[in-house]
Structure formats: C-alpha cells, structure tokens
Amino acid sequence: MAEKARIAIFISGTGTNMAALLYAGLLETSRYDVVLVASNVPDAQGLEIARAEGIETFVHSHKGHSREEHDAAMEAALIASETEYLVLAGYMRILSDDFVRRWEGRILNIHPSLLPKYKGLDTFARAIAAGDSHAGASVHIVTPELDAGEVLAQAKVAIRECETPQTLAERVKYAEHQLFPRAVTDYVSRPYDARYVYERVRDIALALPETHARDSHGSPGFRVGAEKSGKFFAHFSENHHGSEHIAVLVKTSGMDELLDLVEAQPDTYFKPAYYGASGWIGLILNRPGTDWVHVAEWLERSWRSAAPARLTKLHDAAGMF
C-alpha cells in the first residue's frame, strides 16, 4: 500500500469544499493528508477551520503583486510543505502558465458547472437562463487553458422551477462536498493502481506500428514485428522480483546511459534486477505526477531500437506530415 499523498489546498473564500476535503482526509482510510491550506485572501473563512484542526496555513495577498510574484510566494509554501498535489477549492485566481506547467498533472480544481459547459464565472445564472435540466460540478485537471483540462468526475444537480442562482449554488455545494474528496482520492490512488498504470502503458505501446502484447516470464510485455518473431521493446513490471516499483522497462543505448540516468534521477529510473548488462532500464510509474509524455517518448525510442528499418522509415515519413 502506498503512503498517503500529501495535498495542499488553495482557497479564496468560505472554504466549505476545503473543509469537506480536510475531514475526509482525516478519516483513517483516507489516501491523502492535507498538509497545507493557503489563501490569497488574508481573512478567508476557511483558514480558521484549517487552523482549528492543526493544519498548517499560509496567506499571501495578491494585492500589489504581479501574478508571477504572487504565484512564486504560494509555490514556495507548497515546496516547503513537501506538497505532491495541489487542489484548488474556490481559489479565484488564475495561475500563471509557468506555474501550471511546473505542476502539470498535479493540480486539480472544482468548477461549478457540468464542463465543458459554462467555463468561467456566473455558471448558475447561465445554466438557468439556458433552460438546462441540470447544473452541477466538475473536478478537472488544471491546464494553462481555463477550465479546459481533463474532467475526472462530475455530479449533477437538478434545476427546479423558480430556481435562482443562489438556491442552485447552495445545492451544488452539497454535491461538491460528496464529489471532491472522492475524485481527489481516486486521482491520487491512480499511480498505485497497477491495472490503471498498465492500461495506460499498453495504450501507448500498442499505438506504435506493428506492435502486440506478449507475456515474458509471467510479466506483460510488448513486441514489434510479426506475432511469431517480434522483438520486445517494453516490459511491464509490477513489483517484480521484490522491486517496490510499478514500472515499464525500456531499452537504453547501454549501461553507461542507464547508470547515468539512475544516478541523476533515482526517483524516475532504476536498474531492474535480473536484466544484467542488457541496457533495460526501469521507468518508475507509481509516484505522483508521472510525466506520460516522457513515458511515451521512451516507449517510442525503445520501439525504434527494436523495430525493423522498414517500419522506422515508414514511421519517420508519417511523422513528416
């Protein structure tokens, strides 16, 4: 079982969603710990709730600071508290693109609409004016484009006749309080769910030309070429031979490169047992914020080293268009 994920929560207001996350996080079975609550509004009510529960708080008003300066102060607090995931719960500031990129895949937000409908503000009034049957809330991954990242979970709330934006907002909050802790729990658990991780690796591997899945010594692997004579370019490894990692093994250029990578980035790479000096390196996937673009680049490189020239040439030609 993985350790609990360390999450920080940014708020600007009442902080009822923060409270829902915080109390869910205090349950024994929780998969995360709230390690920091931070705000850009010095008297945000939610800060008091966090303090009362002994959670570290941090306040930095955005007034008189550029977006970058303000983000830098908030980020320093995240780093000091060894935060792994940042959760935005009614944080009414847009984060700078650079900040979001540095934390890519590790920031979640709750937005009070059924995305992709009604990004931005006044979501309830807009849903009512449009005559929608339902409003709701969405938990999504934060990307530089506002409210546009992958939606992880949604809760629907019926719109009654004579509904006002205020009455709707109140009910949507009840739904948010159920939704948010679950969505955060599911998201932080993903890297430790071998099936989820495997399926992601498989989808990337099998999207490469002429590939197929094949077990090797009891572990799933991926080969390029004909079904009978293909060559392995990746092995999936789930706590194999006592290793604590869920990982994909890919081929480096040789032992020099392998050892350099393991030494420079021990949180990302390891040398798998029983692969000798063959150059297979383990890419660690059971950790927060796995960079899947990086994983895809490695899989392609490994595929390239195993694929026959006719395939790599075709692949290069296709890449030019």
CB 137 within 8 A of CB 175: yes
Which of 13, 144, 165, 225 forms a contact with ligand GAR (CB under 6 A)? 13
Least Å distance, CB 44 to ligand GAR, is: 8
Residue 311 labelled as part of a binding site: no
- How many residues belong to the chain? 321
C-alpha to C-alpha distance for 215 and 192, rounded to whole angstroms: 21
Smallest CA-to-CA distance from 228 within 214, 208, 217 is with 214
Among the listed ranges 16-24, 218-226, 239-247, 277-285, the one in contact with ligand GAR (CB under 6 A) is: 16-24
Which of 4, 102, 171, 173 forms a contact with ligand GAR (CB under 6 A)? 173
Q: Write out the two tokens for 264.
A: 């420079």
C-alpha to C-alpha distance for 188 and 192, rounded to whole angstroms: 8
Which of 112, 136, 181, 191 forms a contact with ligand GAR (CB under 6 A)? 112
* Per-state percent for the chain, helix, strand, coil, to nearest 5: 40, 25, 35
Which of 5, 17, 47, 283 forms a contact with ligand GAR (CB under 6 A)? 17
Residue 90 labelled as part of a binding site: no
Least Å distance, CB 171 to ligand GAR, is: 11
C-alpha to C-alpha distance for 37 and 46, rounded to whole angstroms: 8
Among the listed ranges 14-22, 150-158, 232-240, 260-268, the one in contact with ligand GAR (CB under 6 A) is: 14-22
Residue 290, exposed/middle/buried by CB under 10 A (0-12, 13-18, 19+)? buried
Give, in degrees to the nearest 5, the angle at Cα 204 between 203 and 206.
65
Which of 31, 60, 111, 223 forms a contact with ligand GAR (CB under 6 A)? 111
Q: CB-wise, 136 or 191, nearer to ligand GAR?
A: 136
Residue 90 touches ligand GAR, criterion: CB under 6 A: yes
Residue nearest to ligand GAR (CB): 90
Q: CB-wise, 173 or 271, nearer to ligand GAR?
A: 173
Least Å distance, CB 138 to ligand GAR, is: 9
Smallest CA-to-CA distance from 155 within 131, 132, 182 is with 182
Count CA atoms closer than 13 A to 19's CA, side-chain side. 14
Amino acid identity at 272: P
Q: Write out the two tokens for 128.
A: 């009512």
**Active-site pick, 60, 62, 70, 111:** 111
Site string for ligand GAR, 178-197 (x = CB under 6 A): --------------------
C-alpha to C-alpha distance for 77 and 71, rounded to whole angstroms: 10
Say how many residues touch ligand GAR, by CB under 6 A: 15
Residue 221, exposed/middle/buried by CB under 10 A (0-12, 13-18, 19+)? buried
User: Segment 119-148, which members bind ligand GAR (CB under 6 A)?
Assistant: 137
Among the listed ranges 13-21, 269-277, 280-288, 293-301, the one in contact with ligand GAR (CB under 6 A) is: 13-21
Residue 239 labelled as part of a binding site: no
Residue 6 labelled as part of a binding site: no
The answer to whether residue 111 is catalytic is: yes
Rounded to 5 degrees, φ, ψ at 94 are -85, 130
Helix (H) or strand (E) holding 264: helix 255-264
| Active site members | 111
Please give the residue ranges that form the binding site for ligand GAR (CB under 6 A).
11, 13-18, 89-90, 110-112, 137, 173, 176
Binding-site residue ranges? 15-17, 67, 92-95, 109
Binding-site residue ranges for (6R)-10-formyltetrahydrofolate? 67, 92-95, 109
